[in-house]
Structure 1
Amino acid sequence: MNIQISERAERFLRQKIGSKSSPVRLVFDSEGCGCGVNGIPALWILPAQDEHDMIIHSNGVPFVMGRVHAIYFEENLYLDLEEGFPSFRLSGDSQLYGQNIRLLDKRED
């Protein structure tokens, strides 16, 4: 799996991650969305990669994903920062996964 990160999205991510080498996890978050096939994409900054994570090849910031979430996403993904908002737009070759995707810092949880 690959994710192409725009320059402005990468700058924003690096600013939020800071000097720590923390990966960003792409999640298909189904909590509170009904059944397991209903969900929304989310981005979480993690303290470390989990043993069940797979690496997503990126052109910048390190990304990972839980292997069970891979079925919800295409092989090639594109991440951009929404103009004027602290949120992201995630798309693939054939669809838009979401706009207004928030970045949550899970290092303190």
Structure 2
Amino acid sequence: MNISFTDKAIKQLTPILTETGRMLKLKYDTDGCGCLVSGVISLWLVDQADDDDIVVETNFVPVLLEKSRLVFYDDTMAIDVVEGTGCFQLKSPGQILNPRMTLIEVSEQHER
């Protein structure tokens, strides 16, 4: 799996990651979606990896993904900034996986 960050995304995320010392996680979130295949990919800011997480090296910082949810991701993806919104976008060469991802600060209690 290849995940890259655009220069704009790196510029926006660098101060946040430096200040918090936390990690980025792409989370396939199914809360309130009805079923497993109706989830949405979210960008989380977390303190530590969960047992099911794998680490994917990128052109910026390593990103955590749930091993059991890899089927919902494309082999090549990019994280970009949606201008003027404060949101990020997850896209691949064939599709946009999430056009507006907010950076969600997740507490340890919410992760579990």
TM-score, structure 2 normalization? 0.88
Shift of 1:76: 0.8
For 1:15 and 1:97, how far apart are their aligned partners in 2? 25
Contact 1:3-1:56 at 8 Å conserved across structures: yes
Shift of 1:18: 2.8
For 2:85 and 2:55, how far apart are their aligned partners in 1? 27
The structure in which a higher percent of residues are helix is 2
How big is each residue's C-alpha offset from its partner over 1:32-82, in whole Å with a ceiling of 9 and x where there is no partner?
011110011101011112232111221002211010111100111011010
For 2:88 and 2:11, how far apart are their aligned partners in 1? 12
2:68 is the alignment partner of 1:30: no
TM-score, structure 1 normalization? 0.90
Aligned-residue identity in percent: 26
Q: Which runs of 4+ in 1 moved over 4 A?
A: none
Shift of 1:20: 4.4
Q: Give aligned pairs, total.
A: 109
Residue in 2 that maps onto 1:82: 82
Residue in 1 that maps onto 2:101: 101
Contact 1:10-1:61 at 8 Å conserved across structures: no
Q: Which runs of 5+ in 1 are unaligned?
A: none
Q: Which runs of 5+ in 2 are unaligned?
A: none
